[in-house]
Amino acid sequence: MKSIRAGIIQFDVKLGDVDSNLKKAKQRIRRLAGQGVRMIVLPEMWSTGFANQELGRLSETTPGILDEISRLAKETNTIIIGSLPEKVEGKIFNTAYLVDEKGGISGTYQKIHLFSLTGEDQWFHGGQRGVVCPTSVGPVGLLICYDLRFPELCRSLTLKGAKIIVVMAQWPDSRAAHWKTLLAARAIENQVFVLAANRCGKDHDLSYAGHSRIISPYGEVLARAGKKGASITAALNFSLLDQFRETIPCLKERVPEAYG
């Protein structure tokens, strides 16, 4: 496949309000799918937000949400990606799900790096492995928010074959400059497309950055959102990616034995 159109949905996730968040996401997914978008990314914890004290109860809504998203993906012939709270044997994980256009779950990724500054490690268990999902548009690597600060993880996904890296986040406005810089760096150094979906709005006294974006392997911002709710789209030209990797063969010319 030479090219696809991808999209990102940026919105203010209402804390603990599953019905409202699901309704908003479904409406916008339908709208983007009607515009020919084949892959759509939602923010981190898009159904619940970080309603930490309610995670046990809220995680029980995730199977039903996945059923609805699976039906919608099949109906609209669209790949849908986003993270939700997952309960496994009484443990809560921040888990990204990739639902393919046939309505099946092509892969899941449990967030590895938990953000201790906000106490995320007190409420969630961390995942143990990076994940690259097979899809009809090529291999897709998954990152969640704080993972973006760990270049080793993104590089490992690239070495496993990822040509698209999806980042789902609730990244704060106070560190928006880091968000933009790190996204561009991950795209350039790994020669991949980066689809980064951040939330906007506020929880209590914490403001979120928005600034979702789609970035080319050259680091060019193909589409960007501001600080308010928005949907953005861009074409991903895989011929461009292949050309860049041939012209500047960074991945082929790595010298791992010299890196310690």
Per-residue burial over 27-49, b if 16 or more Cβ lie within 10 Å, else e, is: ebbeebbeeebbbbbbbbbbbbb
At 260 the pLDDT is 87
- In angstroms, the Cα distances linking 184 to 52, 211, 219 are 31, 13, 5
Rounded Cα distance between 29 and 34, Å, is 8
CATH class of the domain comprising 3-248: alpha beta
Active site (annotated) includes residue 133: no
DSSP string, 2-20: -EEEEEEEE-BPPTT-HHH
Pick the catalytic residue from 111, 120, 133, 163: 111
pLDDT, tens digit, 9 for 90 and up, residues 219-240:
999 999 999 999 999 999 999 9
3-state class (DSSP) for residue 234: strand
From the candidates 44, 86, 101, 120, give the one annotated as an active-site residue: 44
What tokens were used for 253?
Answer: 């010319």
Catalytic residue among 145, 163, 180, 200: 145
Say if residues 10 and 232 touch (Cβ distance below 8 Å). Answer: yes
* Inter-residue contact 202 to 209 (CB < 8 Å): no
The pLDDT value recorded for residue 63 is 98
Q: How far apart are the first and last CA of the chain?
A: 37
> 198 vs 30, 45, 140, 244, CA distance in Å?
19, 10, 18, 27
The yes-or-no answer on residue 145 being catalytic is yes
The single residue listed with the structure tokens 């899809």 is 135
pLDDT of residue 205: 85
Tell whether pTM > 0.85: yes
Q: Within the chain, where are the H helices?
A: 18-33, 55-59, 62-76, 120-123, 151-159, 176-190, 238-247
Q: Reduce the secondary structure of 40-92 to three states and give it as a string.
A: EECCCCCCCCCCHHHHHHHHCCHHHHHHHHHHHHHHHCCEEEEEEEEEECCEE
For the chain, list residues with pLDDT below 70: 1
- Strand 164-169, strand 193-198: pairing: parallel
pLDDT digits (tens, 9 = 90+) for 42-70: 999 999 999 999 999 999 999 999 999 99
pLDDT of residue 1: 66
- The answer to whether the beta carbons of residues 245 and 191 sit under 8 Å apart is yes
Are 165 and 190 in contact, with CB atoms under 8 Å apart?
A: yes
Q: Does 89 participate in catalysis according to the annotation?
A: no
Whole-number Å distance between alpha carbons of 52 and 42: 20
